[in-house]
Amino acid sequence: MVPVRTNIANGKETCLWCDNCGTLLLGRRCSKCGSTGREFEINSPGDIRPCMGDSVRILEDLLEEAFGTAIPIKGCSVFFNKVPGEDRTDEIIAYGNVIGVLRFDIASDRLRVELRQAGAERGDPVGTKNIGRSFGVSGHLKGKSVPGENVSEVIGTFSSEDPIIVRKGLKMGPGIAMADSDKMKSAEKALRIRDLNTLSGITICPNAGRDVFVECNRGHLEKLENTAVNEVRSYVKGKTQPVTVSFSGGKDSLAAYGIAAKAVKSPELLFTNTGLEFPETLEYVERFVRNRRLVLHTAQAGNAFKDNVDTFGPPAKDFRWCCKVCKLGPISELISRNYPKGTITCEGNRSLESFTRAGTELVTRNPFVPNQINLNPVRNWCAAEIWGYIWMKGLEYNPLYERDFERIGCYLCASCLASEWRNTARIHPEMYQDWESYLHAYAERNGLPPEYIDMGFWRWKVLPPKMRQLADGLELKMEPRGGNGLSMKLMKGASVCVAGGYSMEAIATVPRNRDFAYVEDALRTVGDVKYSSEFEIAMVRMKTGKARLFGGGQVSVTAEDAAGAERTFEKAVKALIRAELCTQCGICAKTCPRKAIRIKGGMKVDPERCTSCGKCESACMVVHYYDKIMSGKTLPAPEACAMPSAQKTQTSERRDGFRGGNGRRPQGGRSQNRGGGQPQRSGGNRNGGRDAAHGGRDGSRGPRNQGGGRPQNRGGHGQSSRGNGRNGQSGQQPRGGGSRPRL
C-alpha cells in the first residue's frame, strides 16, 4: 500500500478510500472510477487487511448484540488494521473511517467491540440499545465520567463495561457503561464518554465486495506484481541454481508463489510439515499442488516435537526450540538432499509482519541453511495488497483464512494470541484439548501449579515483569522442580566423530536470566560468531574448533582432536554462563584493553574492537560456575543424544494424552461451529474460572481479574484465555534482574 503520509510522531498512516466505489484504495487512484480517493487515518504500522468469512459474521453478531443492529457494516467493504494491544486488537474500517475496535478481552474471555466516533455516528440512528442520554454536564467531556443524576435516558439492557452510544443535545459519541443499565441513573459513575461531537456527516458509499476491491486496485496490484517479478528475474538472471518457493500454506507465501510462477518457469515448492499443522493446511497444500500440477518437496518433521517436548518443556515465546527442531532441521536436510548446488527460494516474508522482519531486504540468507538464498519479493506489501493480489490472480488460498484466522502456523504455537488459541478451540476442539491436557500433565510432574497453564505462564521461560508481578502476587511458585539450577548432561564426551575429527555434545541447563541473544556477545570474546535470533542458534568458530549453542541448552562441538574439542566446549559453555548469569559487575569492561565491552542489561561486546583475547573471561567470576556444573555432570549413553535433528531425538513415553500429531485426525474437527458460530469454551478443562493474565504482543500484558473466575461468556464470542503475543518483544527478559542460580 502506498500510505499517503506516515506521521511517525502520531503513529498514524494516512490511507485512501474511494467513496464512489466504496472500498480501500491501495494506490493513489481508483482503477475503476478514476477517483483520487478521500484520505483517512489509521494507526501504524498499517498492515491493513480485509475482514472476511467468519470474521464478518462475528463482527456483525457483536454489533447486533451490543447495539441491536449490524447496519454500520452490513454489506459494505470492511477492513481490519492490527494495532498493539494486550491481545487481538483490530481497528475496524468501514466507509473509509475507523468505526470501532475489535479486541479480545482476556479478563472476560471474549471478543468485544468498541465504537469510535464514526461508528457511533453511523450506529446512532439505527441502534436500538446500549444508548444513554446525558444532560447538564459541560466543558471538555472527552474521557470524562458522567454521574447517574445526569443521565436522562437509558435505552436497552446492558452491563457495566459494555460499549454504548452517548447522546447529549446535538452531540453524540462512543462511551462505556460504568454501571448496569438498570442501575445507571442512580450510579455515582454511570458512563464514561470516549468522544462527543456534532455529526460530521459520514459518506455512505455503495456496498462493495472483493470484485470491486480488486477492480478499484487493479492498476496498483499489476504494478506491484511487475516490480516484484522484475526483481526476481533480475536476481536469478545468469544464476544456475533452481528457483523454489517456500510454501507454508499461508497467504504471503501464496503471493510469493504467484510472483515466482510469473518470473520463472515452473518453480518447485518447498513445504515443511512440522507435525503440528492444521489438517486444513495439509489438505490445502496437497490440493494446490495437485490442481496446478506442481512439484512439491515436503520436509517432514515427523514426531520431532513430540519426541523433544519432554526434554525441553513446552515451547515458549522466549524459547522457541520447536522452530529449530520442527522447521529449520528438516528444511536444511531437504535442501541439502534435493539441491546440493543450492537453490534460490522465494519467500513471503513481509516487513509489516513483525519487528524482527521490519526492514527485510530483497535478498537474505540464513546462515544455518547455507545452500539457500532467500528472495523476498513481497517484503513491502501490506496484507490488503497480498489479498488483492491473490484475488486478482484467482489463487486458491487456505480455507482457514475464512475461519477468522489472520495468520496460519502450527496449531499450538506458543507465539499465538489468546484469541487465536481460542479460535483453535472453536474449530478443532480435540487438538486444543490434547495440548491442554499435555500442558497440565507437564505442570503436574514438574511441581508447577495448575495456574502455570491456566493463566498462560507456560508461554515464557522468563516471565515478563507484569507476569512475574502477578505470579508473586498470587504467591505462585513458577520454577520447575530442579529446573532453574545449573546442570550439565554430557551426551558425548570428546570422541571420534563419524564425519572426521572429534565431537562433543551436551545439554547445559543454565537459568535463562536474560535473552539468549546475549550469548552472541559472550561468544564474540572467544571467536567469530553467527547468530540467528529466530532460531536461537549461535555458531562460533575458534582456533581450537567450532561450537554450536542452541536456545534449548544443547551444545555441540567439533574439533580436530580431543583436546581441541574439550577446550572449545569449555569456552563455549563459559560464554553461555556469562551471557545468562552476568551480574553486570563491569569487571570485564574494565579489564578489556580494547574497551570493547559495555554493560547494558548484560555484557555487550563491540565486534569491531574485540580481538577475542580472552582477558575478560579470565576476569569474570561467573565463569567459575563452569567447574561446578562439570563436576556434577552426568554421562548417559552416547546414543541418547538429543541434538536437534528431526531424526536424532530423544524419546520418552507420554504420560498424558498429548498426541502431538499434525492434525490428521479422524473427523478432525471441522465438525463444530462451522457456520461462523461463536467459539465455545472447550469442555473438560481444569479451569472452571480461568483468570486472565497472558502475554500480549507488547510483552507487557498485565494481570486482570486476579481474584476470581471469569465472567460468563455472555455473547458466546468467547475465546480461550491463553495467551500471548506475537512480535517477539514479549519474550524480552527483565534486563539485569532475574533470579540468580541456586547452587
Binding residues for ligand SF4 (CB under 6 A) = 525, 578, 582-588, 591-592, 594, 596-597, 599, 603, 605, 610-616, 619-620, 622
Return the number of the residue (325 or 622) whose C-beta is nearest ligand SF4: 622
CB of 575 to ligand SF4, least distance (A): 10
Given ligand SF4, Zn ion, none, residue 30, with its beta carbon under 5 to 8 Å by kind, binds Zn ion
Q: How far is the CB of 385 from Zn ion (least distance, A)?
A: 17
Q: Could you tell me the smallest distance in angstroms from the CB atom of residue 519 to ligand SF4?
A: 12
Residue 376 CA to residue 370 CA, distance in Å, equals: 17
What's the angle, vertex CA 296, arms to CA 291 and CA 301, rounded to 5? 125
3-state secondary structure of 521: helix
CB of 25 to Zn ion, least distance (A): 7
Size of the site for Zn ion (CB under 5 A): 8
Toward ligand SF4, which CB reaches closer, 71 or 619?
Answer: 619
Side chain identity, residue 657: G
Residue 508's binding partner, choosing from Zn ion, ligand SF4, none, with beta-carbon cut-off 5 to 8 A by kind? none
The site partner of 55 among ligand SF4, Zn ion, none (C-beta below 5 to 8 Å per kind) is: none
Contact 409, 250 (CB under 8 A): yes
Among 1, 17, 22, 32, binds Zn ion (CB under 5 A): 32
Helix-then-strand count for the chain, H and E: 18, 30
Contacts with Zn ion, 161-200, as mask; x by CB under 5 A: ----------------------------------------
* Distance from C-alpha of 432 to C-alpha of 412, rounded to nearest angstrom: 8
Strands (E), 443-590: 487-496, 502-509, 528-532, 537-541, 545-550, 554-559
In angstroms, what is the minimal distance from the CB of 60 to Zn ion?
Answer: 25
| Residue 48 partner contact from Zn ion, ligand SF4, none using kind-dependent CB cut-offs of 5 to 8 Å | none
- Single-letter residue type at 472: D
- Closer CB to ligand SF4, residue 94 or residue 592? 592
Which residue's CB is nearer to Zn ion, number 27 or number 123?
27
Shortest distance (Å) from residue 484 CB to ligand SF4: 18
Q: Which is nearer to Zn ion, 208 or 270 (CB)?
A: 208
User: Which partner, ligand SF4, Zn ion, none, binds residue 15 by CB below 5 to 8 Å per kind?
Assistant: none
Residue 585 touches which of Zn ion, ligand SF4, none (CB < 5 to 8 A by kind)?
ligand SF4
What is the three-state SS of 572-609?
HHHHHHHHHHCCCCCHHHHHCCCCCEEECCCEEECCCC
Q: How far, CA to CA in Å, does 156 sit from each of 151, 164, 165?
A: 14, 10, 11
With CB under 5 to 8 Å by kind, the binding choice for 33 among ligand SF4, Zn ion, none is Zn ion
650 binds Zn ion (CB under 5 A): no
In whole angstroms, how close is the CB of 563 to ligand SF4 at the nearest point? 21
From the CB of residue 311, how many other CB atoms can be counted at a distance below 10 Å? 17
Binding partner of residue 497 among ligand SF4, Zn ion, none, CB cut-off 5 to 8 Å per kind: none
Binding partner at 32 among Zn ion, ligand SF4, none, C-beta below 5 to 8 Å by kind: Zn ion
Please, what is the Cα angle at 653 between 649 and 659, to 5 degrees?
A: 85
- Nearer to Zn ion (CB atom), residue 203 or residue 495: 203
Min dist. Cβ of residue 384 to Zn ion (A): 15
Q: Rule CB under 5 A: is residue 346 a binding residue for Zn ion?
A: no
Residue from 6, 14, 20, 487 in contact with Zn ion (CB under 5 A):
20
129 scored as a contact of Zn ion (CB under 5 A)? no
Give 480-496 as a DSSP string. PTTTTB-EEEEEEEEEE
- Give least dist CB 415 to ligand SF4, A: 30
Identity of the residue, 27 or 119, whose beta carbon is nearer to Zn ion in the bound complex: 27
Q: Which stretch binds Zn ion (CB under 5 A): 34-42, 238-246, 274-282, 650-658?
A: 34-42
Q: Which is nearer to ligand SF4, 243 or 616 (CB)?
A: 616
Q: Which does 303 bind (CB under 5 to 8 A by kind): Zn ion, ligand SF4, none?
A: none
285 binds Zn ion (CB under 5 A): no
Contacts of Zn ion in 195-254 (CB under 5 A): 216
Joined together, the cell numbers standing for residue 375 give 528472495
Give the one residue of 15, 24, 26, 30 binding Zn ion; rule: CB under 5 A.
Answer: 30
HSE of 548 in the Cβ direction (CA atoms, 13 Å)?
A: 17
Q: Which is nearer to ligand SF4, 1 or 540 (CB)?
A: 540
Q: Collapsing DSSP states into helix, strand and coil, what is residue 166?
A: strand
Min CB(486)–ligand SF4 separation in Å: 15
Which does residue 603 bind out of ligand SF4, Zn ion, none, counting CB within 5 to 8 angstroms by kind?
Answer: ligand SF4
- CA atoms of 315 and 550, how far apart (whole Å): 13
Q: Cell match 502456523: residue?
A: 409
Measured CA to CA, the distance from residue 80 to residue 676 in angstroms comes to 17
Closer residue to ligand SF4 (CB): 131 or 596: 596
Q: In angstroms, give the least distance from the CB of 81 to Zn ion.
A: 21
- The one of Zn ion, ligand SF4, none whose footprint includes residue 584, by CB under 5 to 8 A per kind, is ligand SF4
Helix, strand or coil for residue 550? strand
Name the binder of 588 from Zn ion, ligand SF4, none, CB < 5-8 A by kind.
Answer: ligand SF4
Q: Is residue 139 left, alpha or beta, with left meaning phi > 0 and alpha meaning psi from -120 to 50?
A: left
410 binds, among Zn ion, ligand SF4, none (CB under 5 to 8 A by kind): none
For residues 580 to 619, the per-residue mask of contacts with Zn ion, x marking binding by CB under 5 A and - elsewhere, is ----------------------------------------
- The set of cell numbers assigned to 513 is 536470566
Q: How far is the CB of 243 from ligand SF4 (least distance, A)?
A: 42
Helix (H, G, I), strand (E, B) or coil at 559: strand
Q: Which CB atom, from 614 or from 657, has the smaller least distance to ligand SF4?
A: 614
Q: Among 471, 483, 490, which Cα is nearest to 445's?
A: 483
- 297 DSSP assignment: E
Residue 33 engages Zn ion in binding (rule: CB under 5 A): yes
Sign for the CA dihedral angle at 589, 594, 598, 603 comes to negative
* Torsion-angle region of 311 (φ positive above 0: left; ψ -120 to 50: alpha; else: beta): alpha
Least separation in angstroms between CB 583 and ligand SF4: 4
DSSP 9-69: TTTEEEEEEETTTTEEESSSS-TTT----EEEEEETT--EEE--THHHHHHHHHHHHHHS-
21 binds Zn ion (CB under 5 A): yes
Least distance between ligand SF4 and beta carbon 673 (Å)? 53
Q: Please tell me the distance from the alpha carbon of residue 532 to that of residue 530, in angstroms, as a whole number.
A: 7
Q: Tell me whether residue 476 or residue 585 sits nearer to ligand SF4 (CB atom).
A: 585
Distance from C-alpha of 645 to C-alpha of 638, rounded to nearest angstrom: 15
- Please name the amino acid found at residue 116: R
In DSSP notation, 73-99 reads: TTTS--EEEE---SS-EEEEEETTEEE
- Using CB under 5 A as the binding rule, whether residue 19 contacts Zn ion is answered as no
Backbone conformation region of residue 607, classed left if phi is above 0, alpha if psi is from -120 to 50, else beta: alpha
Strand 79-82 versus strand 48-50 pairing type: antiparallel
Q: Which is nearer to Zn ion, 33 or 204 (CB)?
A: 33
Q: Could you list the residues that contact Zn ion (CB under 5 A)? A: 18, 20-21, 30, 32-33, 35, 216
